[in-house]
Chain A
């Protein structure tokens, strides 16, 4: 049976939802799998709703379009839930039975009792993961929140590796062929200014990915085949 995860990522403008989905998608392909992405957003501005639909599998993917019934949803920002900053309401709409909701939040959120009941009815697994906190601790900035989440989801799906994720970060920031929109290019330059060298930027991002990966393993969320990532030397602060 094919390993197949349809992932809906919801976040707000500036968090790198689309960038994150590109990196996960490329990393799955680097690891020998298959993946497609469908980004979905309106005007490009900070804090505006952004969704991205990522399909990952170890077999060819034929179908197209948005994902209505995901296996996994990733919530990049708590305001997606609390303020309804999303194209999909409520945030778990269409989540398959026994599906996973990976939520960027420091500890459990108090959900409305109707929402909690509906999540219980479909036996949803809620994983609260402090991605922004981890990004601040490991990289000294919140802009690697998406990297933490991609490391975490990489371990949960078991369809890629930290090495493949590192390779796709390099493709993204060192590659010549990657075309980004004006808004994303502006953010890229902000990120790049923070680091003296691009290599430092990549090292920090990969360190956050690794931390996210290991967080998933340590909390028992990861796929059974996935192990902690120890290979990489810790980067200097």
Chain B
């Protein structure tokens, strides 16, 4: 056995056979033990351009958690930290299997999300590629750390498998936690299905580490619907992986741990109340949000755009949705088309940055926009209304909205489209709010009250 192999096994020993690779048979243990990391060591680095745009793919029928695992397998991840919370636990457990197989260099279970997010910051600041996943209350518990990542310019990919966070508490899908991430300065994607989960994580690492971006990326999906259900995922061969993180390419220098005393915080808190302090904070935050803007070109390059649009050109009604609501909307579009309604669908992939220009162009002619959501507050409807204000006369129906784990019957979306076009009040208007366009003031007032 070579020295190199022994050294590696010291920091990455064979784990529990249940969560790791099979334990060696006793006969093998004495002499020629099979290297559990053999396959991982044979992985070849390819360019992101080849991996995303050219490499042949094969289709598999897997869960969203497995899709995340397969994305991380090909992402050359250095450090992954787990802390369990439903419906995410299985995802990070599967990343642990990757660690056992040698695809992830370091992996451990944190004590809780505050610690995990702080350790993610430490890892990223030290210059390695970091991944974690959490959900619902875990996201909010870790939010102090998460909200500090963009300002410290830390490339990290974090996955959020959204679930209920508010009382009465439930473990069911509800994506209200996305609203809390939108103003942190991180890039936020919303995956519709298992394929998106896979693609967005891989692209997330690449975009996150671009020199003119250097920001964390949050990949959100609706828990259970995506994490626990199976779907078709087209994947590149597992013998390929992304190039490693080149930390020197980042917008800020990494932590200098070789020249003590190391400064744990790259920039000490600006606590003096003077114009310099205000200025430092201002330019720093302006630069964070400018970096969010600069990520647009990479999202276009590696993910094929911030949104996808189908049949929007001549549509009188357009459904705008993200995540699982987009999946429900596809069926609503089919039913509406059967009823003879000219209808289009826009799926928003990137919530930060938001596809403002794209929506202004696409929604110029639409008479009606319907925004179905899996949360109470309607964060996407507000984003859409803000983006197209002054550029479209469409009536915007923010809804239907379901939350607390309820499924979204596609019939509710169809109802909103029909009532929006005919003016006839829909039976479920309580689950939606009307804003913008030529609507009566009472309806608008209802929306104004709701924000």
Contact = CB atoms under 8 A, between A and B. Distances in A.
Nearest to B331: A63
A64 B409 contact: no
Nearest to A66: B407
A65 interface: yes
A2 interface: yes
A63 B327 contact: yes
B338 A1 contact: yes
Contacts of B225: 64-65
A65 B408 CA distance: 7
Q: How many A residues touch the partner, as a band?
A: 10 to 19
Q: How many B residues touch the partner, as a band?
A: 10 to 19
B411 interface: yes
A67 B328 CA distance: 12
Contact of B327 (A1, A64, A66): A64
B179 interface: no
Main secondary structure of the interface of A (DSSP, over half): loop
A159 B51 CA distance: 39
A69 B334 contact: no
Nearest to A60: B330
Contacts of B411: 68-69
Nearest to A69: B411
A21 to B, nearest CB: 15
Interface in B293-333: 324, 327-328, 330-331
A62 B338 contact: no
Interface in A40-76: 59, 61-69
Nearest to B332: A63
B410 interface: yes
Contacts of A68: 407, 409, 411
Nearest to A59: B334
Contacts of A64: 225, 229, 324, 327-328, 407
A63 B338 contact: no
A68 B411 CA distance: 9
B330 A63 contact: yes
A63 B229 contact: no
Interface of B: 225, 229, 324, 327-328, 330-331, 334, 338, 407-411
7 contacts: A2-B334, A61-B331, A63-B327, A63-B330, A64-B407, A65-B328, A69-B409
Given A1-B338, A63-B327, 13 more contacts: A2-B334, A62-B330, A62-B331, A63-B331, A63-B410, A64-B225, A64-B324, A64-B407, A65-B225, A65-B407, A68-B407, A68-B409, A69-B411
